[in-house]
Amino acid sequence: MANAVDVVGEWSGEKVRLGEVLDALGGLRRGCGFGATRTSVVNLVVVSPSADAAELAIEAIEGLGARFPGRTLLVVPGPVADGGRVDAAVRLVASTAEGHEVWSEQVALTVSGELSSHMDSLIEPFTLPDLPVVVWYVSDLPGAGDPLLDTADVVLVDTRSLGDVAAFPAVAELVRRRVVVDLSWSRLRPWRELLAGLFDGPDFGGPAGQVTHAAVSGKEGPRHLLAGWLASRLGLPRAAFSLSDARHVAVRLSAPGASFEVVRDEGTRLVRASAWIENGPSHADVLPLPDESLPWSLADALTHLQRDRVWEQALRGALVFAAPAVH
């Protein structure tokens, strides 16, 4: 996914007041020379544990191009010993959608000391009215008392980047409080769609109810989610599953006289699905993966800002499969 934005104005300051940042933002808009009104569809608040993770998040956001214009507010914690201070940087970026120039705003706040416990009041002046507030926690999860949760309409997380299924209970607790969208679940969409497609039609629909074993491989987190999803869809007990670590996701289902699998070709960005029935028909399908998974999964998540009951069921199932690691 190409980075298709241009910086048309920027400003930065140290130890600033919020009013200064808002004034700078307004000044950039007035001086940009655009005749169009603001083109915004979302308030995206990005909470990053480090400057490096913040840079990756901004690259992903800019990789969206003009598809999700809006105001992005990036929040990074500063040194605790700095008392209470805010350093800020503002950028106005332009991109093209269907031949029309659209623009978005990026506000980066480095918040130090005691101010970090009042994030909700810090971001409130920057949110655009009548647009959803989406809070994206990059490679981390919010604490139980995180004040930003009170302002969020939707929370974005990435269960793969958490790197440990021991965090899944905290994700499940977060689901009880807010609508949660998982970027890892978005990335698993090609596998899920291809696998579900294998059971379409009368030839393969019957064996779907006769699956006796499911082998799921992949990185910690994604393989647990897929296993939880399969358990909820097929009604299989935990004993019917075998999970293993692997670089890429793969799912193999076994039924009497039939087998189904979805795997990614090594060294390519292709996911292949196949179904085989003994003395019967076979089927194969292939789906290309996007070149940059983080911008793609972020775009997919921003397109589905509503509660996903199927993912929530998969998460509950994943908790069962992750139980040995948790305890």
User: What are the residue boundaries of the structural domains of the chain, listed by start?
Assistant: 6-152, 187-326
* CATH classification (class only), 187-326: alpha beta
CB 85 within 8 A of CB 78: yes
Q: Write the pLDDT tens digit of every residue in 60-114.
A: 887 776 677 778 999 988 776 666 789 999 998 877 766 667 778 889 999 888 7
Distance of CA 281 to the CA centre of its chain: 38
What secondary structure does DSSP assign to 183-217, as a single string? HHHHHTHHHHHHHHHTT-SHHHHHHHTT--EEEEE
Checking if the pLDDT of 258 tops 60, the result is yes
Better-scored residue on pLDDT, 236 or 100: 236
Query: Per-residue pLDDT for 295 more than 80?
Result: yes
pTM: 0.88
pLDDT, tens digit, for every residue of 115-149? Answer: 877 888 889 999 988 889 999 999 889 987 888 89
User: What is residue 177's three-state secondary structure?
Assistant: coil
**Higher pLDDT residue, 255 or 95?**
255
Q: Is 172 helix (H, G, I), strand (E, B) or coil?
A: helix
Q: What is the pLDDT of residues 167-204, one digit of tens each?
A: 999 999 999 999 999 999 999 999 999 998 888 766 66
Q: Give the pLDDT confidence score for residue 29 in this predicted structure.
A: 81
Average of per-residue pLDDT across 283-291: 86
Q: How far is CA 49 from CA 110, 151, 251, 297, in A?
A: 11, 19, 33, 20
Q: Are 125 and 22 in contact (CB under 8 A)?
A: yes
pLDDT at 98: 64
Q: What are the tokens at 227?
A: 């296993």
How many CB atoms within 10 Å of residue 236? Answer: 18
Asked whether the beta carbons of 112 and 83 are under 8 A apart, the reply is yes
What pLDDT score does 3 carry? 47
Residue whose token pair is 């647990």? 224
Averaged pLDDT, 45-65: 84
Cross-strand bridge partners of residue 161: none
| Number of helices (H), then strands (E), in the chain | 11, 14
More confident residue, 252 or 35: 252
Q: Is the pLDDT of residue 32 over 70?
A: no
Identify the CA nearest to 108 among candidates 143, 157, 160, 71.
71
The whole-angstrom separation of Cα 154 and Cα 76 is: 19
Structure confidence at residue 205 (pLDDT)? 63
